[in-house]
Amino acid sequence: MTNTATTLRTLIATWPDLQAALGDRPIHGAQGRAVTYVGDGWPAGVGPEVVAWGRSRGCAGVRPTCDLVSRHTDGSIARLIEVKGRGAQTSISLPDRQRNAMLDYGVDWWLYVALNCTTTPELRIIENPSRLPWRLFTPAADIPAGSYRRVSAEGVWHVGHDVARNAGQLT
């Protein structure tokens, strides 16, 4: 498994490939759920469906930002999943828009973090990641005009590698 986020998201969207990469540990598919990969764009109808689902659960209607939409066996939405992969022991980061979605969707927005992708991958599933001690590392206001940042002019929130490791369920 490489440490590219695209490869990781593809593996998670295709559970048999992910399980082959991580061994015989059952993950999401063991619950009979299916996932829709939305990281490269929302398939027709899925975006409005997710917004309506979120509003029915009390969300303020923040733009849903995630990589995967998890569905129950009846096709209804179970949760939204953001995927992060780290090759080394570095912090986990979320730009403002992802943090806002995390806060808005609450317990329905999960974080899947693959740690040590370049050596022995560990997938940590973190339910309700908003409970973690996120801190603003790069406030948008501190980015000088015209300066390049990986995520445009957004602030970036971080939580430590060890915090993510200890908070997540090892699969």
pLDDT, tens digit, 9 for 90 and up, residues 38-81: 876 777 788 888 888 988 988 876 677 888 888 888 888 988 98
Residue 119 CA to residue 80 CA, distance in Å, equals 28
Residue 122 CA to residue 166 CA, distance in Å, equals 12
pLDDT, tens digit, 9 for 90 and up, residues 19-35: 444 444 445 555 667 77
Higher local confidence (pLDDT), 134 or 37: 134
C-alpha dihedral sign at 113, 116, 118, 121: negative
pLDDT, tens digit, 9 for 90 and up, residues 142-167: 555 555 445 455 678 888 878 877 87
